[in-house]
Structure 1
Amino acid sequence: MPRLVRQFLAFFGVGLAAAVVHYGLLIGFVEGAGVDPIPATLAGYVAGGVVSYALNRRHTYDSDRPHREATWRFALVAFVGFLLTWLFMHVFVDGLGAPYIPAQLVTTGIVMLWSFLAHKAWTFA
């Protein structure tokens, strides 16, 4: 299997684990605590990001870049993803009145593509 395909499949698997954390918090905060979907999804994004860093560093990119370099790079890519998550969720939920779960699914796809490419080219290169 070509390396890029293997990496993307590993990234996708790690993304599923991170998504369980992200969506779990999102749904728990919205349905269980009455929190607005946008701050709830941002809290989930941060928690999922912690899972994502640990698993991607080891299983997707097999990086030997020192943590002191990789963590700030990961954080910067994640911050852009955080902003993209806010932007798209704001547009879909507040602007277009979309239900928050379908809006989050589309947003996740967009941010996943951004993150994979940025981490491959810069964070863990």
Structure 2
Amino acid sequence: MRRESPHAGPLRALFRQFSAFAGVGLVAAVAHYGALIGLVEGAGASPVPATLAGYVLGGVVSYALNRRYAFDSDRPHREATWRFATVAGVGFVLTGLFMGLFNGRLGLPYLPAQVLTTGVVLLWSFSANRFWTFRP
């Protein structure tokens, strides 16, 4: 019989939480990327400001869903919202910096640049929200 590691329970819980966070992130990304593409292709906006507008829209979706599904937080909104906004503010700055680097400086097309940027910001925001915003 195979013996389960004593760390399997916490690792499984972490995986479940990250999976829920990533699922919520997909829903928020649809809002973010929809705004980005709509603003760039439909309104002729520059990719960096367009992605920042999309980031804000995705952030609103993300807060509501992460609070309920990924972190199952009972932290009062008056505490969680300013913490989430702080984490999102750092993510907003990171989004602008990385999009500026990938799209502006390195010349990547805006959608691949946004995918890379999303990966970087995903790791930051999961860690910060798990250990600070929604921590019990």
Number of aligned residues:
125
The one-character-per-residue Cα deviations of 1:48-102 (angstroms, maximum 9, x if unpaired) are 0000000000000000100000000000000000000000000111111110000
Quote the Cα distance in structure 1 between the aligned partners of 2:102 and 2:20. Answer: 29
**Of 4, 21, 33, which residue of structure 1 is paired with 2:31?**
21
Q: Which structure has the greater CA radius of gyration?
A: 2
Aligned to 1:76: 86
> How much is the aligned-residue C-alpha RMSD, in angstroms?
0.7
Match in the other structure for 1:111: 121
Match of 1:11 in 2: 21
Task: State the distance in 2 between where 1:66 and 1:21 align.
Answer: 26
The percent of aligned pairs where both chains have the same amino acid is 70
The aligned amino acid for 2:97 is L
Q: 1:31 — aligned with what?
A: 41
Paired amino acid for 2:119: G
How far apart are the structure 1 equivalents of 2:103 and 2:19?
30
Structure 2 segments unaligned to the other structure (5+ residues): 1-8
Q: Which amino acid aligns with 1:61?
A: F
Q: TM-score with structure 2 length normalisation?
A: 0.91
Q: Which blocks of at least 5 consecutive residues in structure 1 are unaligned?
A: none
Alignment map for 1:86-125 (pairs within 5 Å): 86-125=96-135
**2:53 maps to which residue?**
43
Runs of 4+ in structure 1 off by over 4 angstroms are: none
For 2:108 and 2:102, locate their aligned partners in 1 and report how far apart those are by CA, in whole Å.
5
